[in-house]
Amino acid sequence: GFPEASTIWKDGELIPWKEANVHILSTAVQFGSSLFEGIRCYGTPSGPAIVHLDGHLRRLLDSCKMYRVDVPYSAEELAAACFDVVEANGLHDGCYIRPMVLRGYGAVGMDGKGSPVECYIPAWKWGAYLGADAFSTGIDCCTASWARPAPNTFPGMAKAAGNYNNAALIKMEAQANGYVEAVALGSDGMVSEGSGQNLFVVRDGEIATPPINGSNLQGLTRASALQLAAEAGVPVRIEPIPREALYVADELFFTGTATEVMPIASLDRIAIGNGRRGPITERLQQRYQDIIHGRSEDVYGWMSLRGGG
């Protein structure tokens, strides 16, 4: 559950968790106009380190720009606020940080004109999103019957609360049918992503992943996996992937901030490879884990420490 004894950064102040409330008629509640991020912080030998902090805040400000939401804070101010929240709540051993920019209470109409822009940064302890065992066993997934949004309907590149109505349908369908997660297709029928993670396909020692095409989020963990694939000398193709290519893959894995690097053991009850975590997935997963936990040098500059570095 949520740590109700803790504090949340709200527009420059730390306020009690229980006071971080909005009115029922806030534009964000009525119309989904909330832009947000999901960031992880890990306890490392050098102190709490936030993964891809600049990238997440840039994506947050980009999401706001797409939705014509003017944010009165710079990325630097928001970065400092993220560290404030970690420190104020004693979350040095690691946590999940959820910056949110939303249209508050005031406007009657969906344009939100007259509603104040409010910015909140809660954080809480959050373990392995899809279960700790799954890092080695992999997860059972299905193909979602719901497609991801078509390009030019609403922006897939924005991390907007409204997008997660689609993601929730995908996730709920998977769980209702006994799966952990789902792979969703785009409106073109080609592979898009999971409900909250990007997808990678391994076959014959090469990696493929779908392009960022308006149906999916430009994941920061996806970018990390691409760096680690290059480091490992594994060729990568970014290309449209038909659904059937997934069933005959040697390995499939998801990437995401919450999910980290997660093997997929089966898709639609078809075993992927031998139905276990494959060697390329394992290698990238280990490297990712070692860097984020501070066990290996941060050679790609993913990690932010308070006061720079």
Which of 274, 129, 244 shows the shortest CA–CA distance to 197?
A: 129
CB closer to ligand PMP out of 107 and 261? 261
The answer to whether 241 and 191 are in contact (CB under 8 A) is yes
The smaller minimum CB distance to ligand PMP, of residues 106 and 162, is found at: 162
Supply 269's token pair: 């009850």
* Cα 28 to Cα 69, 105, 116, 175, distances in angstroms: 12, 8, 11, 27
CA torsion sign, 259 to 263 to 264 to 265? negative
**Which DSSP string corresponds to 231-262?**
HTT--EEE---BHHHHHT-SEEEEEETTTEEE
Q: Which is nearer to ligand PMP, 161 or 245 (CB)?
A: 161
Q: Which residue shows structure tokens 């600049």?
A: 54
Interface contacts to ligand PMP, rule CB under 6 A: 38, 167, 193, 196-198, 217, 219-222, 255-257
What's the closest the beta carbon of residue 105 comes to ligand PMP, in angstroms? 27
Distance in angstroms (rounded) separating the CA atoms of residues 83 and 65: 24
- Residue 105 is inside which H or E element, if any? none
Catalytic choice (10, 65, 125, 159): 159
Q: Give the shortest CB-157-to-ligand PMP separation in angstroms.
A: 10
DSSP 150: P
Backbone angles phi, psi at 33, to 5 degrees: -85, 70
- Report the residue number, 214 or 256, with the smaller CB distance to ligand PMP: 256
- Look up residue 170 and give its amino acid: I
Closest separation between CB of residue 158 and ligand PMP, Å? 10
Query: For residues 162 and 112, is the Cβ–Cβ distance under 8 A?
Result: no
Is 10 considered catalytic here? no
Q: Are 10 and 119 in contact (CB under 8 A)?
A: yes
Closer of 57 and 265 to ligand PMP (Cβ)? 57
Beta carbon of residue 59, minimum distance to ligand PMP (angstroms, whole number): 7
Which residue is listed with tokens 């078509």? 150
As a whole number of angstroms, the distance between CA 8 and CA 5 comes to 10
- Nearer to ligand PMP by Cβ, of 217 and 284: the residue is 217
Minimum CB–partner distance for residue 181 and ligand PMP (Å)? 11
Q: Supply the minimum distance, in Å, between the C-beta of residue 257 and ligand PMP.
A: 3
Half-sphere exposure for 260 (CA within 13 Å, toward CB): 27
Q: Active-site residues: which are they? A: 159
